[in-house]
Structure 1
Amino acid sequence: MEFAEVVRRRRMVRNYDPDRPVPPEVVERLLAHAVRAPSAGFSQGWGFLVLESAEDRARFWAATTPETAGPGRWLTGMRRAPLIVVPHSNRGAYLDRYAEPDKGWTDRDERRWPVPYWHIDAGFAALLMLLTAVDEGLGACFFGIPPEREATYREEFGVPPEFTPIGAITIGYRAADHRSPSLRRGRRPVEEVVHRGQWS
């Protein structure tokens, strides 16, 4: 598929065919592409938890679903995904890397960072997985883990304290789903969001 077509077709898919697993070679391509993402100082401070078995996926949903969440259409369709990948960032990897001699800093002071590039770079990796899914004929959806459920998620899967989940990605073969009501807002035109030479 041409790259422009991949970008055009990318959208968040919220319902999957539960009877079609993602082939192992496709899972490996998703992950191989993820680690091709750019990272500040080539720090590569990411980590990916891959959940393929029905048991592991059930553990994920039990650990991350708020107790107040009802059995809505969104959750029902998302739970059908045969693959979940949770990308994590590692702040310490970046602070350590930029305290190395070739970077010119001698400490790990987080105030040197205008924005948390450890999260941004993990997000780049997540986007490459979303685009790869489209290229492979799959659907995918990136979504957040509720903050009040992060501790439960960490405990359930033994996530080390230095790694922070930036969200999760469901991946699988698309099933019929409903358009998100948010899409009624329409895509903002390029002319509205791009400023050339000066903001105003």
Structure 2
Amino acid sequence: MEFAEVVRRRRMVRDYDPDRPVPPQVRERLLEHAIRAPSAGFSQGWAFLVLESPDERERFWAATAGDGAPDAWLTRMRRAPLLIVPLSHKATYLDRYAEPDKGWTDRDERRWPVPYWDVDTGMAALLILLTAVDEGLGACFFGIPPERITAFRDAFGVPEAYRPIGCISVGYPGAEDRRSPSLRRGRRGTDEVVHRGRW
């Protein structure tokens, strides 16, 4: 598929065919492409938790969604055969920029105008989303509620130093997949968001 077509087709898929797993070679391509994302100082301060088995996925949903009957969105999302949780690691960046070639001698976090550890991990997540489209799959990036992050960490032994920036569900689109009502707002055009030469 041409890159322009991949970008045009990219959207968040919220329902999956539970009977079609993601082939192992495709799963590996998703991850191999993710680590091609740019990162400040080539720090590569990311990690990816891959959840495929029914038990792993159920533990994820139990930890992040809590008790109670799932709503329609969660029911459809839970059908995804593959979940990938991208995690950022701030210490990797602070350590990297304290190395001699970067010119800093300390790990002072105030030097960073934005948290590039999260930005770069987000770019890796986007490469997963685009690769999914190129492979004929659907995917959706969604957040983990802040109040559920401790339960998520406990369920999977995730060290405190790693922050989940969200989760990506991946699979073949299901029969009930439909576009988000938010799309009724329409996509903003470049004439609304691009400022050339000056604001």
Pick the TM interval, shorter chain. Answer: over 0.9
TM value normalised by structure 1: 0.97
Distance 1:90 1:50 in 2: 17
Matched, 1:79 2:115: no
Distance 1:126 1:140 in 2: 11
Where does 1:153-168 land on structure 2 (aligned, <5 Å)? 153-168=152-167
Distance 1:129 1:29 in 2: 9
Instruction: Specify the code of the residue in structure 1 equivalent to 2:182.
Output: S
Where does 1:80-119 land on structure 2 (aligned, <5 Å)? 80-119=79-118
SS at match of 1:61: helix
Q: Percent identity?
A: 75
Matched, 1:127 2:122: no
Instruction: Specify the code of the residue in structure 2 equivalent to 1:32.
Output: E
Structure 2: gaps of 5 or more residues: none
Instruction: Give 1:169's aligned residue.
Output: 168
Matched, 1:35 2:35: yes
Q: Deviations over 1:142-169 (max 9, x none)?
A: 0000000000000110001110000000
Distance 2:72 2:154 in 1: 28
Distance 2:184 2:128 in 1: 26
Query: 134-143 or 170-179, which moves further after superposition?
Result: 170-179
Distance 2:90 2:118 in 1: 8
Instruction: Calculate the aligned-residue CA RMSD, in Å.
Output: 0.8
TM value normalised by structure 2: 0.98
Q: Deviations over 1:60-109 (max 9, x none)?
A: 00000044x64211101100000000000000000000000000000000
Moved over 4 A (4+): none
Q: Deviations over 1:105-142 (max 9, x none)?
A: 00000000000000000000000000000000000000
1:27 Cα deviation after fit? 0.4
Instruction: Give 1:185's aligned residue.
Output: 185
Instruction: Give 1:11's aligned residue.
Output: 11
Distance 1:52 1:8 in 2: 28
